[in-house]
Amino acid sequence: EYQDRIDSLEAALSTNEQEIQSRYNELIAKADQLYGEGNYAAALAFYDKAHNLKPAEQYPKDQMAIIQKLLDKKYTDAITKADLLFKAKEYKKARQMYQEALRHKPGDAYAQDMLNKTDKIISLFDKRFTSLVNEGDSLFMNKQYDPAKGKYRDALKFYPSERYPRDMISMIENNRTAG
């Protein structure tokens, strides 16, 4: 009777080990696929699940270490670019790079702080730009061309690549030479 019970427990244990191995293999396959696609954060999560299932296995540990190094490098590269763009007052591009840094290191305090600062600056720039363009338009409509041109030029200080203020300045200058 005891032998039957022992045999039953061994059979159940063997089945459980097979299920664990099968689940582990699925997790590793999915992690490897995600890693191959460059989706490192998701791959890391699957390697971690596999590691929790079979802590003695070295492969998931090694892969997690490799991914962490990749993410750290990508984070550092993104922060370096973002900081350079921020210093160059290219706030919209800097914002994208801070967001990228956060994708590689979610919850990072520095990247989040800089993203918040960048958002505030962009918001102020947007408001000031819009205000200057509206003032320029109002002056233009009242045929006050020189002051209007000044407002459009001031607006371009915030967003040098914007077409509308440039087009309005050209229109004022062309009307002067034509008239």
Closest CA to 35 of 70, 6, 76: 70
pLDDT (tens digit per residue) in 128-160:
999 999 999 999 999 999 999 999 999 999 888
Tokens at 148, concatenated: 């209007």
Rg (the chain; Cα; Å): 30
How confident is the prediction for the chain on average, in pLDDT?
91
Per-residue pLDDT at 167: 95
- Whether the predicted pLDDT of 19 surpasses 90: no
CA–CA dist 157, 52 (Å, integer): 55
Percent above pLDDT 70 for the chain: 94
Q: How far is CA 58 from the centre of its chain?
A: 31
96-106 confidence digits (pLDDT tens):
999 999 988 88
What is the pTM (predicted TM-score) of this model?
0.67
Residues 26-66: pLDDT tens digits? 999 999 999 999 988 899 999 999 999 899 999 999 999 99
Mean pLDDT of 93-122: 96
Which of 100, 98, 127, 101 minimizes the C-alpha distance to 114? 98
What pLDDT does 106 receive? 87
C-alpha to C-alpha distance for 97 and 84, rounded to whole angstroms: 10
Give the tokens for residue 70: 């990749």
Q: Which of 176, 151, 177 is nearest to 165 (CA)?
A: 151
pLDDT beyond 60 at 178: no
Distance of CA 115 to the CA centre of its chain: 10
> Minimal CA–CA distance to 88: which of 126, 116, 121?
121
Enter the DSSP assignment of 88.
T
CA separation for the pair 137, 119 (Å, rounded) = 27
